[in-house]
Amino acid sequence: MIKFINVTKKYKNNVVALSNARLSINKGDFVFLVGASGAGKSTIMKLILKEEDPTSGKIILDGKDITNVSKRSIPIIRRSVGVVFQDFRLLQNKTVYENVAFAMEIIGESPKEIRRRVPMVLSMVNLSQKADSFPDELSGGEGQRVSIARAIVNNPSMLIADEPTGNLDPETASEIMGILSDINARGTTILMATHARDIVDSMQKRVIQIDKGVIVRDEEKGGYGDEVSYY
Amino acid sequence: MRFRIIKNMINQGFEGMWRNRGMGLASISSIIAVLLILGLVLILVLGINNVVGDIKSKFDVVQVFLEDDIAPKDLDKIENYLKDSKSVKTYKFETKEQALEKMKASWGDEGYLLDGLETDNKLPNSFLVELKGIEHTENVVKDIKALNGVETVPYYQDSIDKLIMISKYIRMGGLVITIALVLVSIFIISNTIKLTVANRKREINIMKYVGATNGYIRGPFIIEGVLFGLIAAIIAIVIINFGYEYLFEVINDKLYYILSVHLIAPETLLKDMSIIFLSIGAGIGAVGSIFSLKRYLNV
Ligand SMILES: Nc1ncnc2c1ncn2[C@@H]1O[C@H](COP(=O)(O)OP(=O)(O)OP(=O)(O)O)[C@@H](O)[C@H]1O
Ligand SMILES: [Mg+2]
């Protein structure tokens, strides 16, 4: 469902964040992206989300070449890829319910459909009780669950999570991983960048390791790896 | 679906305006000030244009006086020229008898003094020629003067040239001032919207990640800007309308007495001004927002 064919990304300051990367992620995969800080993990995600364009190479998403798509079709691409960040990025002046509904309003869903789907995803992330709370009334784990609910409410075929547990304590982190596993079990492809060794080791999913922009390992059921120099 | 998106955008536009009312008030006041200045300029330009137009319309008509013993062949030639010329709007032959009647009428009570002249009418036959515009006058007069049988075509080249020039300068000056003021307003609105946008950077960022189109993100801000512009325009129109009505009442009669020209009627002015102000208000609102958003949309 996503393919990088010899993709190189050189930023304007001449930093080569990704060099000649080849990778292929299939529908339903759960993939960890590991590597030291600055290795190029977020760059891969930005390339998928079309926040950045590759310097060379090709990116295929759902069978479509998105390497050089027009600016106008970028929103359409983003609708098929949900995204979750380390810092949740919730709107402080909207309730939990509204934060999730917002993602549906933006793409013009009907109020009826919104009323049906928002409670559904909130219950998927165990937040039905908190629907009317505001973000500053939530714990870190709850905040991240809201952002996951928002990311999946429009039924994306893929979920990208950039260090989703980075700000959470281990217990809360494993709760989030449980939710991501559930989502994956329903068929959504998941690509998650992380520095959390224990999570990667315990889940034994596919691991892609990247070092200074080069993919150095792509293992079907792997651990975090010893050679990853952490910071 | 399209309709729902538009409804959403309008709601958000109003919401944004309300949330942003402090800054909004400040920028609305500044724009009102700018529009009031613009209003004064417009009143001046339109007023002077009005006077100039009045005078000019007197020069759109020339009278071609004919020699008494003109040959029918020459008369035909002149008439053919008038018929074919692209600069001539209408023309009418006026006999010396009609000319005398007209003169009598214009003399009014003293018209009887002309009684008895019918038998020895010294007034010439003439063509009354109405031109398509004052700028055609010179050429037409030159052409006609060259034809046989034309006695004279009274015509005041200097005054016309001066008038054309004055009205051109006034119009240009007004245009320059208007453009400058519009730019100032765009700057004011775009700064206000920039603040809203900065406040909502997070929101815009999130919207982009969820797959909102640029149009959808821009929409509410543009609506907000347009609302600011329209509110300012409406208030400025009300102020100018009251101010001008007062001015009109006080000085119109005096002005006519001194210069024999009228001010533009308040109703006419209000209509023109409303259209101009509302378009400018909405326009600067939209353009101002678009400017301030440019930087934020390239995510
Ligand atoms: N917009 C940018 N302009 C210039 N250089 C950038 C930009 N974004 C990232 N880089 C550089 O590209 C390299 C890879 O960055 P990237 O963010 O992909 O790393 P990362 O693996 O996500 O790191 P971390 O674990 O710290 O999040 C780094 O050297 C970084 O400084
Ligand atoms: Mg990163």
| Contact call for B205 and A89, based on CB within 8 A | yes
- For chain A, the average pLDDT equals 93
**Which ligand is nearest to the Cα of residue A228, counting in written order?**
1
DSSP readout, A42-55? HHHHHHHTTSS--S
Residue A111 shares a structural domain with residue A184: no
Closest approach of A79 to chain B, Cα-based (Å): 5
Contacts of A87 in chain B (CB under 8 A): none
Asked if B130 and B58 touch (Cβ cutoff 8 Å), the reply is no
Report yes or no on A139 lying in a domain.
Answer: yes
Residues 120-149 of A with CB under 8 A from B: none
Which ligand 1 atom is the nearest neighbour of the CA of A46?
Answer: 18
Q: State the helix-helix crossing angle for A111-124 and A140-152, rounded to 10 degrees.
A: 140
- Please tell me whether residues A111 and A63 are part of one structural domain: no
The predicted-structure confidence for A46-84, as pLDDT tens digits, reads as follows: 999 999 999 999 999 999 999 989 988 999 999 999 999
- H or E, element range at A146: helix A140-152
The residue type at A154: N
Which numeric CATH code is attached to B61-132?
A: 3.30.70.3040
Q: Per the CB < 8 Å rule, is A71 touching B212?
A: no
Question: Which run of H or E residues covers position B157?
Answer: helix B157-199
The pair of three-digit structure tokens given for residue B117, joined into one six-digit string: 């002249």
3-state secondary structure (DSSP) of residue A205: coil
For A5-21, the pLDDT digits (tens) are: 999 999 999 999 999 99
Residues A169 and A212 occupy one common structural domain: yes
To 10 degrees, what angle do helices B157-199 and B137-145 make? 160
Query: How many independent structural domains does chain A possess?
Result: 2
Q: Are residues A56 and A162 in the same domain?
A: yes
User: What residues 175-204 of chain B have any CB closer than 8 A to a CB of chain A?
Assistant: 202-203
Residues B221 and B192: beta-carbon distance below 8 Å: no
Q: How far is B211 from chain A (nearest CA, A)?
A: 4
pLDDT band at A133 (very low <50, low <70, confident <90, very high): very high
The verdict on B205 touching A (C-beta cutoff 8 Å) is yes
CA triplet B212, B216, B221: central angle to 5 degrees? 125
CB atoms B210 and A51 under 8 Å = no
Q: What angle do CA B252, B253, B258 make, to 5 degrees?
A: 100
pLDDT tens for the 299 residues of chain B, in order: 577 778 877 887 788 778 778 877 888 888 898 889 888 888 888 777 777 777 666 677 788 888 888 888 888 888 888 888 888 888 998 888 888 888 888 777 777 777 777 777 888 888 888 888 777 887 888 888 888 888 888 776 667 677 778 878 888 888 898 888 888 888 887 887 787 777 778 888 888 898 888 888 888 888 888 988 899 999 999 999 898 888 888 887 777 777 666 777 888 888 888 998 999 889 888 888 888 887 777 65
Chain A residues in contact with B5 (beta carbon < 8 A): 108
Q: What CATH code is carried by the domain that includes residue A20? A: 3.40.50.300
Q: What range defines the domain where residue A141 resides? A: 90-155
Task: Answer yes or no: do A4 and A72 share one domain.
Answer: yes
Note the pTM of the prediction, 2 decimals.
Answer: 0.69
Q: Do A3 and A30 reside in the same domain of the chain?
A: yes
Verify that A138 and A184 share a domain, yes or no: no
Q: Which residue of A has its CA nearest to B216?
A: A106
pLDDT at A231: 46
Is A75 close to B212, i.e. CB distance below 8 A? yes
Q: Which of residues 59-118 of B touch A (CB under 8 A)?
A: none
Asked if A106's CB is within 8 angstroms of B216's CB, the reply is yes
Indicate if A76 and A96 belong to the same structural domain.
Answer: no
Domain layout of chain B by residue ranges: 2-56+160-297, 61-132
User: In the predicted model, is pLDDT for residue A157 greater than 60?
Assistant: yes
> How far does residue A18's CA lie from ligand 1's centre (Å)?
9
**d(Cα B118, Cα B115) in Å, to the nearest integer?**
7
* A229/chain B closest Cα distance in angstroms: 31
Question: What is the model's pLDDT at position B299?
Answer: 53
A5 plus A43 within the same structural domain: yes
